[in-house]
Amino acid sequence: MSLKASKRLLSQCQAYLVTLGLDYVVKNALHLTQGVNNTCFRVETTCNRKLLIKHFDKENNFKVTEVEKKLAILNVVPTVIALNEAEKLIAYQFIESEKFNKNVHLPNLVTKLKQLHNLHASYEFETINIDELLTSFSDVNEFLVYKKAIEKLQSRIATFPQLFGVCHNDLVRDNLLFSKTASWIIDFEYVGLNDVYFDLAALSSSLKFSQNEKYELLCFYFEKQTITPNQLEKLNLYQQAYNFVCYFWYLKHGLKSHAKALEPLIKA
């Protein structure tokens, strides 16, 4: 980054802090590029506070902060430092994520996921239908290649009873944070009512769980010593559906290398 661009970034983040009513001076700032519906910045202040500042591109997207504020109280998401609804700005505590350690993080992560799934909030949650979600990508050229496989998958999923909860619906690895002892979930722009197995499937894919680890995940989630073959089968089916959703989403947004990395999973 050029000196001029660096100064412009520092100035922009300083203006955001002022708008948020925070009496901090920016020392370092980094534009984080993974956001699709928002713009994010990692900010370090002269008093060594580390913040994540997020500017929402659309007013409707900002409404999800109602959910995040509630989840922050439960420590499911990082602490909300400040927000400005009029300017669609929010600042969180920034957490430098560590490598996932199953023995340390999985119980804590599952506890927080269950808190999300059982959340009571006045927010008007959209209900996610897995069939509609899959077929919403029918305009992607590659959809026709997998159309029969998707129809078979939809039929098999339909044989299982649904277990609805408030789901994140986008638990990619970048939306999971881990310290040495705890975990958090971030970026709730796709939050909605869905079968909780969709989130469990997303975790299984994002953390590259084996069959034994998926069995362990279900045992933690349902607080059982053992789980049934049907439960594991349902998780595997939802994981296949989740992988298809990610594959088509990446293609639709021009992220062909990300989609290609998923091809071995959707062809399995």
Domain check: are 237 and 220 in the same one? yes
Q: What is the pLDDT of residues 111-170, one digit of tens each?
A: 999 999 999 988 999 999 999 999 999 999 999 999 999 999 999 999 999 999 999 999
Domain check: are 109 and 227 in the same one? yes
**pLDDT (0 to 100) of residue 34:** 65
Last residue of a domain, one of 65, 93, 121: 93
Give the whole-angstrom CA distance, residue 6 versus residue 147. Answer: 47
Give the whole-angstrom CA distance, residue 101 versus residue 41. Answer: 27
Give the whole-angstrom CA distance, residue 119 versus residue 131. Answer: 24
Place of tokens 């490598």: 99
Which phi and psi angles does 61 have, rounded to 5°?
-65, -30
Domain check: are 83 and 119 in the same one? no
Domain at 121, CATH number: 3.90.1200.10
Q: Which residues of the chain have pLDDT under 70?
A: 1, 34-37, 59-60, 268
Domain check: are 240 and 169 in the same one? yes
Place of tokens 């079968």: 195
Domain check: are 198 and 256 in the same one? yes
- Structurally, how many domains does the chain consist of? 2
Q: In which domain, by residue range, is 21 found?
A: 3-93
**pLDDT (0 to 100) of residue 113:** 98
User: What 3-state class would DSSP assign to 195?
Assistant: strand
**pLDDT (0 to 100) of residue 36:** 62
**pLDDT (0 to 100) of residue 147:** 96
Domain check: are 106 and 218 in the same one? yes
Nearest in space to 36 (alpha carbons), one of 171, 143, 166, 189? 189
Domain check: are 147 and 166 in the same one? yes
Give the whole-angstrom CA distance, residue 109 versus residue 240. Answer: 22
Last residue of a domain, one of 59, 93, 127: 93
Last residue of a domain, one of 64, 93, 122: 93
Q: What is the pLDDT of residues 181-190, one digit of tens each?
A: 999 999 998 9
What is the pTM for the complete model shown? 0.93
**pLDDT (0 to 100) of residue 5:** 86
Which phi and psi angles does 88 have, rounded to 5°?
55, 45
Domain check: are 42 and 137 in the same one? no
Give the whole-angstrom CA distance, residue 68 versus residue 192. Answer: 13
Domain at 51, CATH number: 3.30.200.20
Domain check: are 174 and 44 in the same one? no
